[in-house]
């Protein structure tokens, strides 16, 4: 018997970084799947393979490496083992006898939620395999606890978005339903190709929040106003306003030091091709930017992003989060 979970990727439309300090973020799921397949295996090992990264590691029940294939295999796959461990703990079962295959083309370290997609998918698939499907809240809690091990003070927005799916409004560990059934405008995603660590940039903003609390509070206040206005604009389908609010959000992200020349080049290119708005998405420092444009302008915006050296990624909105199913032999 096998269980399979398919997780979408995610982009943050508004409020990244400020969400860590308690602001609202708006995010959405996109059709860029990560598939996690889990199967019972005889013996003690937990074998994990990533098809796209060409790495494979077998762990003992205690998390020691029994076998490793490919470079940096442990760095890539230890987080998956931790997701397995947390899932077994929730099921009150001993952690062994499992084989896992991860398949994902989501670029790593680009702000599209690749690690959250793998964690959420692993937890969901294991619940399904043992015929004890986890609730969305349980999946979110498990994936969020894992993210806390990776970087000190994450907000949980990636894990919530990929678990619940759709257009998501997130604050302080909870999704609210204000954007429930709304559809977002068509997004264009431009990848700078520069990989970076979200933790490093979260640390930078956290330092600002601690060392210059008044300065930070002013910027965060403006960011919250932008997020609140964006909820209204998205609900009403006022794309021009959504675009202007994206531009205003980008100014604040630049102020807290998480933008980069590579991102700003793509953002400027999109705006010069008459995008309604453009900003970085996710951790910043590299990774991806997003733009929205009227239908008649989107081809020109895509070409402008590409001419500026960006790679335009698929970005179709999907109104659902992770989905798991059981395959009986």
CB of 231 to ligand PMV, least distance (A): 17
Kindly tell me which residue out of 83, 157, 278, 322 binds ligand PMV, with binding defined by CB under 6 A: 157
- Choose among 169, 179, 159, 239: nearest CA to 25: 169
Q: Which of 158, 236, 294, 329 is catalytic?
A: 158
> Is position 321 an interface residue for ligand PMV (rule: CB under 6 A)?
no
Which run of H or of E encompasses 139? helix 136-150
Please count the residues of this chain forming the interface with ligand PMV, following the rule CB under 6 A. Answer: 15
Kindly tell me which residue out of 9, 16, 87, 304 binds ligand PMV, with binding defined by CB under 6 A: 16
Report the C-alpha gap between 66 and 99 in whole angstroms. Answer: 14
CA distances from 17 to 6, 148, 152, 223, 294 (A): 27, 15, 13, 10, 28
Q: What does residue 27 show for φ and ψ, rounded to 5 degrees?
A: -140, 170
CB of 115 to ligand PMV, least distance (A): 7
Task: Evaluate whether 196 touches 257 at the Cβ level (below 8 Å).
Answer: no
Q: Please identify, using beta-carbon distances, which residue of 20 and 57 lies nearer to ligand PMV.
A: 20
Residue 158: active-site member: yes
> Is position 17 an interface residue for ligand PMV (rule: CB under 6 A)?
yes
Stretch that binds ligand PMV, among 17-25, 72-80, 89-97, 212-220 (CB under 6 A): 17-25
Q: Please identify, using beta-carbon distances, which residue of 100 and 116 lies nearer to ligand PMV.
A: 116
Task: Evaluate whether 123 touches 139 at the Cβ level (below 8 Å).
Answer: yes
Q: Where are the beta strands (DSSP E) in the chain?
A: 2-14, 25-40, 46-50, 55-59, 65-69, 98-104, 167-171, 174-176, 187-191, 277-281, 288-292, 311-313, 323-327
> Is position 162 an interface residue for ligand PMV (rule: CB under 6 A)?
no
> Is position 290 an interface residue for ligand PMV (rule: CB under 6 A)?
no
> Is position 8 an interface residue for ligand PMV (rule: CB under 6 A)?
no
Report the C-alpha gap between 196 and 119 in whole angstroms. Answer: 19
Residues of span 53-112 touching ligand PMV by CB under 6 A? 111
Residues that bind ligand PMV (CB under 6 A): 12, 16-17, 19-20, 111, 113, 154-155, 157-158, 198, 202, 282-283
Residues annotated catalytic, as ranges: 158
């Amino acid at each position: 018997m096998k269980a399979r979970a398919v997780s979408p990727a995610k982009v943050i439309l508004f409020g990244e970084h400020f969400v860590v300090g308690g602001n609202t973020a708006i995010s959405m799921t996109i059709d860029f799947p990560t598939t996690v397949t889990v199967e019972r295996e005889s013996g003690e090992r937990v074998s994990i393979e990533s098809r796209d990264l060409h790495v494979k590691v077998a762990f003992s029940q205690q998390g020691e490496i029994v076998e490793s294939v490919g470079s940096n295999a442990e760095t890539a796959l230890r987080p998956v083992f931790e997701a397995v461990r947390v899932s077994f703990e929730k099921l009150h079962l001993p952690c062994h006898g499992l084989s896992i295959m991860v398949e994902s083309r989501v670029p790593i370290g680009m702000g599209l939620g690749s690690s959250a997609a793998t964690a959420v998918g692993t937890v969901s698939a294991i619940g399904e395999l043992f015929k004890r499907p986890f609730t969305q809240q349980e999946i979110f809690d498990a994936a969020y606890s894992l993210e806390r091990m990776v970087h000190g003070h994450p907000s949980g927005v990636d894990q919530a978005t990929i678990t619940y799916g759709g257009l998501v409004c997130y604050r302080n560990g909870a999704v609210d339903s204000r954007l429930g059934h709304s559809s977002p405008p068509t997004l264009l995603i431009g990848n700078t190709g520069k990989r970076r660590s979200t933790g490093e940039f979260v640390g930078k903003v956290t330092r600002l929040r601690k060392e210059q609390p008044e300065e930070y509070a002013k910027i965060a206040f403006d960011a919250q106003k932008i997020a609140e206005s964006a909820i209204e604009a998205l609900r009403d389908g006022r794309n021009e306003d959504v675009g202007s609010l994206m531009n205003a959000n980008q100014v604040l992200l630049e102020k807290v030091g998480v933008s980069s020349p590579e991102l700003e080049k793509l953002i400027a290119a999109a705006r010069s091709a008459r995008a309604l708005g453009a900003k970085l998405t996710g951790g910043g420092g590299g990774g991806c930017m997003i733009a929205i444009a009227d239908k008649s302008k989107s081809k020109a915006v895509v070409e402008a992003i590409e001419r500026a050296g960006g790679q335009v990624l698929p970005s179709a909105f999907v109104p659902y989060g992770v989905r798991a199913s059981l395959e009986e032999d």
